Amino acid sequence: DIQMTQSPSSLSASVGDRVTITCRASQGISNYVAWFQQKPGKAPKSLIYAASSLQSGVPTKFSGSGSGTDFTLTISSLQPEDFATYYCQQYESYPLTFGGGTKVEIK
């Protein structure tokens, strides 16, 4: 099974900050990584697929990068609506696996 190690598990940041979340796969997975945002009491929302492709309708302040085993999600300028939990997920092979999540909180 492919393990997805996401870090940090939580972070505190201020409005306007640049935030980077990382995800490391236990083996190479090309670019088969997606990123999701989840707000309390809501379903996850797709942000990024294929490691760096922005989902339609998602603001360009979100960006993804990486290939192989190391991936990042960056929020260029954090806004109040961005405080949420973020998950990475690999879809290269079954079983499909998620990272443990990163909770982004207000400093």
Q: What is the 3-state secondary structure (H, E, C) of 56-101?
A: CCCCCCEEEEEECCEEEEEECCCCHHHCCEEEEEECCCCCCEECCC
- Inter-residue contact 87 to 101 (CB < 8 Å): yes
| Shortest reach from residue 83's CB to other proteins, in Å | 17
Q: Which stretch binds other proteins (CB under 8 A): 20-28, 49-57, 64-72, 76-84?
A: 49-57
Site string for other proteins, 3-42 (x = CB under 8 A): -----------------------------x-x-x-x---x
Nearer to other proteins by Cβ, of 16 and 95: the residue is 95
